[in-house]
Structures are given as structure tokens and as C-alpha cells.
Copies of this chain bind each other. A is one copy, B any other.
Amino acid sequence: MTDTAASAPLYNRVALIGMGLIGGSFSLAARRAGLVGHVAGHARTEATRARALELGLCDSVHASAAEAAADADLVLLCVPMRAMAPVAEEIAPALKPGATVSDVGSAKGAVFEAVAPHIPEGVHLIPGHPLAGTEHSGPDAGFAELFENRWVILTPNAETDPEALARLRAAWEGCGANVDEMDPAHHDLVLAVTSHVPHAIAYTMVGVADDMRRVTQSEVIKYSAAGFRDFTRIAASDPTMWRDVFLTNKDATLEILGRFTEELFALQRAIRIGDGDHLHAYFTRTRAIRRGIIEAGQDTAAPDFGRTPPKPGTPKA
């Protein structure tokens, strides 16, 4: 981002409100790149605060979110979405004029509604959503490479200060991410398709397997490599985060779930009546999307399925 060897940090003081997978990874990535000065961290529990300090996720920890946010140039809200409103209310009096408040929540319409009323005049609210994560959570789950080549979506509006927006964008880019800007409602619909409904479905399929009396859990686990394993990986994500995703992106999730069940019934009918042509055509169409994802660099073509990849020189399809 700059040609000078020893450039000034983008933000002299950053407050991390929440230091789990995303907050911790942001801190590790931003500090490694020299983008931030002092990082003040807040977490609800003493155990997390101590662990975050030990892992080097922050320079100081604070039992009070307001204390962490005081004098910060960037306040990043990394808490479950239903905690956004009370946290925003708590930190509001401590916010410095000219500071930027952003977040990492998965539903952007709801975050704006929850946080905006509390933000004082002269403070920039720019909601954001890094599309990165693993099935692990907590401060130990963070790593500096989490955002490399991943997308971060920012949802500014017509009144957003261009300089504050450019600085926040530069911070995420400095963490290795690609940044997009989007209308909050459109973000919520896109994420319902690419993330929220896939998670709902994966949770449901894993729940079905768990309920089956004639298929013991041990069998489901033993034979999971046959496809089910990819669902369990998705369904192992943080329960609190996902509860809040579905409660805060309710409308788009229900709309896409409705389309999904409609489409599933059509497939079910084709199976029932033995319509092989329909099935074959349907399955052929979905391959193109997979190829697009590999070409876009969001996955590799290696036939791994979590398996040992072929040795170099082994022919691949």
C-alpha cells in the first residue's frame, strides 16, 4: 500500500470488542503487517482476556468494553450479532470524534439497525463482514493467514466519509483480503445463498443422522467420507454465532429456504417417478458452478475430499 519502508500505522489505537476467531485473527494479521499501533482488547470472561493477552492478540485487556474503546481510532465489534446493540450502547459515550466503528457480523441490515442509533455525531459507522472462518471458535482458533485471498464486504451508505472508508478498506487489504462494497440488503441475500442456508441444511442433515435409530452414530461416523463429512464440518461451527445469524437474517434465510424446499421436492419427485433424464440434466448443470469456483481461486481442483493428495506426477483429471 505504500512505498516507504517505515510507514505510520493506519490506526494508532484499535479496540477489539470480542477476541474470538475473527477478532484474534484480525489482530494477528494487522499487527504482523504493521497496520495498527496499540491494540486494546475486551472480552466478557476473565479467562478469554488472559488467554488473548498470552497469545499476543492485544497489548492491553479491559474488563469494560467502554474502557477498551476509549481513545481508539478503530473500534471493531467482534461479538455475536445479538450482542451488538448492548455493546454499542455501552461504548457510545467513550467513542472519540473521528473514530471508525466497524464490525464483523454476518447480517448487515440488522447490525446497522442495532448499532447506528447509538453512534454519536462525528463517529464513522461502517459495517463489514469478512467471509472467512473455520469450524473452530475462541481466541486459540485465530491465525494471521485467515483472511488471505478471502473477501471482506463493507456496507457503507451515501453519508459514509470517503476517507474513513478508504482507511478501513486499506486495513482489510493489508490483512490479505479482497474488499467489496455492497448494499446491506443485497449482502444479506447473497449471504443467505452462499452461507446461511447451506449452514441450515448442513445442521439439519447432521441432526437427521443423529436421530436415526437403525443407523447407529458409529456407522454414520465410520462411513462419513462418502459425502456426509463435508456437512459435519459446516455444522460444527459456533452455535451462538449461528443462532444469531438466523435470528438477524431471518427474512432472506426464509426466502432462500423456501426456494430450496421447492427445488428439493422437484428432485424428490424425479427420483420417485424414476425420471433419469431430469436427474442427469440437473446434475450436469451443477458441475459448471464448481468449475467457476476453482477458476476464481476460492478452492483447488485437487481431488482431496480431505484425502492425501496424489503424488506429484500422478495424472489428474
User: Hey, which bits of chain A sit against chain B, CB under 8 A?
Assistant: 21, 55, 82, 131-138, 140-141, 143-146, 148, 150-151, 153, 180, 186, 189-191, 193-212, 214-215, 217, 219-237, 239-240, 242-244, 246-247, 250, 253-254, 256-257, 259-261, 263-265, 267-268, 270-272, 274, 276, 279-280, 282-287, 289-293, 296, 298-300, 303-308, 310-311, 314-317
Contact present for A263 and B204 (CB under 8 Å): yes
* Complex-state Cα separation, A135 to B153, whole angstroms: 30
- Expressed in whole angstroms, the minimum distance between the Cβ of A294 and any Cβ of chain B is 9
Q: Given A131-B226, A193-B208, are A141 and B316 also a contact pair (CB < 8 Å)? A: yes
- Contact between B131 and A210 (Cβ–Cβ < 8 Å)? no
Residue among A135, A222, A242 with max Cβ neighbours from chain B (10 Å): A222
Consensus secondary structure, chain A interface: helix
Q: Which of B148, B239, B290 contacts A236 (CB 8 A)?
A: B290
**For the complex, what is the distance from the CA of A153 to the CA of B219, rounded to whole Å?**
12
Does the CB pair A209–B194 fall under 8 Å?
yes
Q: Which of B206, B250, B300, B307 contacts A289 (CB 8 A)?
A: B206
Verify B240–A210 contact, CB threshold 8 A: no
Known: A191-B223, A194-B220, A289-B232. A211 touches B259 (CB 8 A): yes
Check A261–B261 contact: CB distance below 8 A.
Answer: yes
A21 proximity list for chain B (CB < 8 A)? 317
